[in-house]
Chains A and B, each alone.
Chain A
Amino acid sequence: MAHKPKTKFRQELVDNDVVLSVRHLKQYFKVGFQARKFITKAVHDISFDIKRGEVFGLVGESGCGKTTTGRSIIRLYDITSGSVYFQGYRINAGSRWNEKEIKWKRIRAKKKIAELRQLEKDELAEERSDAQEINDQVLDAIRAKYAKQIQDIRDEVNEIVRVQKQKIREIKYDNKHVDPRLMSKIQMIFQDPVDSLDPRMTVEDIIQEGLHIQGFKNKAENSKKVVEVLERVGLIAEYASRYPHEFSGGQRQRIGIARAIIMNPELLICDEPISALDVSIRAQIINLLNDLKEQYQLTMLFIAHDLSVVKYFCDRIAVMYYGEIVEMASSDDLFKHPLHPYTKALLSAIPKPDPLSEKKRKRIPYNPVTDHDYTTEKPTLREIYPGHFILANSPEYEKYQQEIATIDADSAS
């Protein structure tokens, strides 16, 4: 067929530095049915790039959409709108924007045409009442004039609809024809080490399942790889034949990491890998992930709710609040110049093992209604400092700039 797009395995974004690029990602969920039906905007228009070898942190409270973002990237959800590029290939995209574009263009055209028809009617009526006798030629001329205008509008709309429909087809085609080998280069570690392992599979089956799916069917070779990877994550070869319930939480999380590492991923999405663990085990897992990062030169998307943990890992951090990125900066910069009130609130909530200063410390509450005044101007993500982005409108932008200046002056003196 002529209109079928040829997009299979087409590299669209050519930038070898960028491994993952998320553009205007929106993820909406339909909740309820009939009269109670509404849409939850879990993620609302976020964009970021992750460079090769970088660890990117997504921080925010529960329900802010950080996990949804991770799951959208790895195609566990069909995203609503926007696109996700991995190594330049589009791996997930949504067509809601295009559909809305068609819908609204049509509605606007309809309105315009109705207006024109009304004008035509008025003009014809005027002509009829003015003239003593009806001049068909004049009337026809008027009719022709309006018909042409209407036709122009229709042509324009049809063109837009054609283009958008083509794009929707492309998106749908792309979504259906993602290279599974490419997808296996993205792996995910889940939050709950108990629920994410199948209780009826042995550790070996769990770890090598991905290999099997990818077509590595040589059992001897697979088990050799499993043993290798088990030892890499600090477990011993004998564990391969055991079942998940025989392990403690930390060991289970190690199995989850082994399952991800065996696919030789380039991008590792860590969805709160340590928040379900004890503090002492936490440090073990943090150190293990750090070692793996260096050994395999992994690029990581690290999702967490605790800024103190994220600081250990991440080169860049994005703070999310209710589906939007409110602040994004390099790790050191974010801790040096926390600007957005929500970031400040998060920082003030981190408990410290220091009773004297802790007893004096005041927590900063964040209330979006009183902290921002967005009645006159809507906020956008702006770059306030090289590499430091913040969600703000113009007055806020100026205020934040002053804040940076005062912080710098303080630290200089």
Chain B
Amino acid sequence: MEKQVKNKEVVISVRDLKLSFYTDKGRVKALRGVSFDVYKGEVLCIVGESGSGKSVTAKTIMGILPGNGRVDGGSIIYQGEDLTKVSEEDFHQIRGKKIGMIFQDPLSSLNPIMRIGRQITEAMIINGDKIKRRYEALILEDLIAYKNAVSRKKAIIEQMKSNRDLLIDEFKDEIKAVKQDAALSDDVKKERIAAIHQKISKAKSDTKTQIDATKVEYAPKIAATKAALKDKSKQAKVEVKAYKASLVAERNKKLKDLNAQLKMAVGDAKQPIKDEIEKVKLDFINSVKLTHAEAKKQAIKVMEEVGIPQAARRFRQYPFEFSGGMRQRIVIAIALTQNPDILILDEPTTALDVTIQAQILDLVNKLKRERQLSCIFITHDLGVVANMADRIAVMYAGKIVEYGLSEEVFYDPRHPYTWALLSSIPDVDTKEKLESIPGTPPNMIYPPKGDAFALRSKYAMAIDFKEEPPFFKLSDTHYAATWLLDPRAPQAQMPKIVSERIRISLEKAGIKHGA
């Protein structure tokens, strides 16, 4: 426990993230205010049923939301930057390089017709062209200025559109209310509806003029930055060309000297000179780009690190020649070649066997220890994560309902949903009947009022259906959002199967400490 008392560096911090998907059936409020921190070298587990928004959170961090998803509010702070506002082009510098992600199904995330060696080295080689990187570094500032100008314009227009949509939604609701109002006569209804329709068309035209104005406003700035970018890229191209030419000249000069020496040399003296020539050639290649041979060497090292035996032979095989667990290891290896700060694992073991699952969990644990890697581990099975989680966030209906250190959540769970999740895990030690959670998660187009879990909870009180519970602080690291923690609430006992299990495991641990 002492370790956690120390102040740890926060790697990524999600604050009050809200997000919706716009579908034909309506606006699905997938995330409704999610906040958490990921610390350096720690594993944060996000646990919840399918549809609770855990994968959406991960995808938002990675910036790979589907087109109909929009961030309504909140922020994801990574290295002082808000990832929700980063443009797509800038995200290329983050996605994969700084934040890696591993998906549920290892077969569908690998290309079936590419040898795995090539898949592992692909990103390394793409990022290994040093001349191109130099060029990119030179034009980076102007490029960002241009992209920012464009994306700011886009974002403002997007915001206007979404505001308009929200307004129109409200008006539509009003129309519905008017239509259903029995107290009004038909004429009055018609009048009012017509008035609302007028408002709608006004809102539409207003937004249009606003958008046009924004476009005009931003046009000169965009043009200016574009021109600057063009100039700079021309300049940069010349510069890079000169740099490469200098490298070539240097090499040629060295080679010339060496060749002259080689001609002069006799017998045994020839060999060191030949070696020297080879070295000069190799140095030149390495200073221009990452060679395939070098990439292969690094890839095999990473493959060995993730526990793939006979890596050199395996390098040339296809994904179908691997078992499920090995495929998942390859996917992890691909992510690791870029040396990310954060690794997001989206249900990496759900498609795997129990034995293989245990191996993958051990691997994640090892990587966390050795590389000081921060992980976000997403799963629906609380039982899986006890071994590796430092912190646990339990999610339900787009919200975090309980957040705390692993020991706190497992040994002192407070939210009824956490109790329900814990009690539905089959256990080897007891043979009691499992307590299942009745029903299914709510439809997030119409999120329930008050506590979202109240409908399925037997601990629900009257207030749960009226008002949303705030976060109650249990310790510096442990929070839970349930009215049961309110001082006025009646005393609620967690299910017997959970309390019994906690008692047994604490007792076991206590005995071990004593002995």
Contact = CB atoms under 8 A, between A and B. Distances in A.
Interface of A: 61-63, 248-251, 278-284, 286-287, 290, 305-309, 311-312, 335, 345-361, 363, 366
Contact of A359 (B353, B354, B387, B433): B387
B105 to A, nearest CB: 12
7 contacts: A283-B435, A312-B431, A335-B428, A352-B386, A355-B386, A359-B386, A366-B355
Given A305-B354, A308-B426, A351 B384 contact: yes
Which of B428, B435, B509 has the largest count of A CB atoms less than 10 A from its CB?
B428
Contacts of A350: 354, 428
B436 A353 contact: no
Contacts of A353: 382-383, 386, 410, 422, 425, 427, 501
Given A62-B324, A282-B424, A355-B407, A307 B49 contact: no
Contact of A357 (B354, B428, B508): B508
Contacts of B109: none
B437 interface: yes
The binding surface of chain B is classed by DSSP as helix
Contacts of A363: 358-359, 362
Contacts of B389: 355
A306 B431 contact: no
A279 B428 contact: no
Contacts of B512: 360
B357 A349 contact: yes
Contact of B383 (A281, A286, A351): A351
Contacts of A280: 49, 380, 420-421, 424, 436-437
A341 B386 CA distance: 25
A378 to B, nearest CB: 25
Nearest to A305: B353
A316 B423 CA distance: 25
Contacts of B355: 61, 345-346, 349, 366
A279 B437 CA distance: 10
Given A61-B356, A62-B353, A349-B357, A279 B425 contact: yes
Contacts of B422: 353
Contacts of B356: 61
B115 to A, nearest CB: 19
Contacts of A248: 440
B50 interface: yes
A351 B387 contact: yes
B505 interface: yes
Q: State which size class the interface on B falls in.
A: 35 or more
A350 B387 CA distance: 11
A357 B513 CA distance: 11
Interface of B: 49-50, 323-324, 353-359, 361-362, 380-387, 389, 406-407, 410-411, 420-428, 431, 433-438, 440, 501, 505-506, 508-509, 512
B428 A347 contact: yes
A290 B381 CA distance: 21
B358 A279 contact: no
B363 to A, nearest CB: 11
Nearest to B509: A356
Contacts of A345: 355
Nearest 5 Cβ contacts at the A-B interface = A283-B424, A283-B436, A349-B358, A284-B436, A283-B434
A286 B440 CA distance: 16
A351 B424 contact: no
A282 B422 CA distance: 12
Contacts of B383: 279, 351-353
A309 B362 contact: no
B386 A279 contact: no
B354 A358 contact: no
A278 B49 contact: yes
A354 B410 contact: yes
Given A305-B353, A357-B509, A279 B387 contact: no
B393 to A, nearest CB: 15
Given A279-B382, A352-B505, A359-B386, 20 more contacts: A61-B353, A63-B323, A248-B440, A278-B49, A279-B49, A279-B383, A280-B420, A280-B436, A283-B435, A283-B437, A306-B426, A346-B355, A351-B358, A351-B361, A351-B386, A352-B427, A353-B382, A354-B505, A355-B407, A356-B407
Contacts of A306: 354, 426
A279 B382 CA distance: 8
Contacts of B427: 308, 352-353
Given A279-B421, A352-B386, A355-B386, A287 B434 contact: yes
Of the listed residues A280, A283, A309, A361, the one surrounded by the most CB atoms of chain B closer than 10 A to its CB is A280
B84 to A, nearest CB: 28
> Interface centre among B49, B354, B384, B431, by most A CB within 10 Å?
B354
Nearest to B51: A248
Max count, chain B CB within 10 A of own CB: residue among A305, A307, A352: A352
